[in-house]
């Protein structure tokens, strides 16, 4: 009986120790992966950006359906460049990791060719480590700049109504 209690105690202790071990801090690895992303972004290379995602990576841009797969994601980024966005800065604020997955919280800034800031916002990326290399798996971002308020049209005046009736 004492042996069983000792074995059970030992197994419970091992389980507690394994569950309480902290994950490896991969913040520097994610920051380096973001430098590669920014390098391709600033070179307007959507195809290369697409290759940074997992095979079934998904991009969740605001006001758009989900975009899935490397080729489609690369095309999305090429469309962004065609809109006049020239370069970006990315700032990693926080990274949590567990085994081969990391979750990054960050901020971005987008600029035109003259250096004028066009947008600023935040993002969450779920990274997957595949064969020792970090790939974007899920990528969602949103602007901090409010959408413009639509201008209300003034109702037609009574004079306009009179002219229409004649």
pTM: 0.76
Grouping H, G, I as helix, E, B as strand and the rest as coil, residue 81 is: helix
Q: What do you get for the CA distance between the two ends of the chain, in Å?
A: 105
For 119-147, write each residue's pLDDT tens digit.
999 999 999 999 999 999 999 999 999 88
Give the closest residue to 23 by CA, choosing from 95, 94, 93, 98.
Answer: 98
Structural domain 24-143, CATH architecture? Roll (3.10)
For 44-84, write each residue's pLDDT tens digit.
999 999 999 999 999 999 889 999 999 999 999 999 999 99
CA torsion sign for 31, 36, 37, 42 is positive
Q: What is the distance between the alpha carbons of residues 86 and 91, in angstroms, rounded to a whole number?
A: 17
What does the domain layout of the chain look like in residue ranges?
Answer: 24-143
């Amino acid at each position: 009986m004492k042996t069983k209690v000792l074995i059970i105690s030992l197994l419970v202790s091992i389980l507690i120790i394994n569950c309480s071990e902290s994950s490896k801090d991969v913040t520097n690895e994610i920051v380096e992966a973001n430098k590669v992303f920014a390098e391709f972004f600033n070179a307007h290379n959507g195809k290369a950006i697409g290759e940074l995602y997992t095979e079934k990576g998904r991009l969740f841009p605001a006001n758009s359906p989900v975009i899935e797969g490397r080729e489609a994601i690369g095309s999305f980024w090429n469309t962004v460049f065609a809109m006049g966005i020239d370069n970006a800065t990315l700032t990693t604020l926080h990274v949590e990791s567990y085994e081969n997955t990391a979750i990054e919280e960050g901020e971005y800034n987008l600029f035109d060719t003259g250096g004028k800031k066009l947008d600023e916002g935040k993002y969450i990326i779920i990274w997957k480590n595949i064969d020792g290399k970090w790939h974007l798996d899920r990528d969602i971002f949103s602007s901090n700049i409010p959408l413009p308020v639509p201008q209300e049209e003034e109702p037609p005046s009574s004079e306009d109504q009179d002219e229409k009736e004649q």
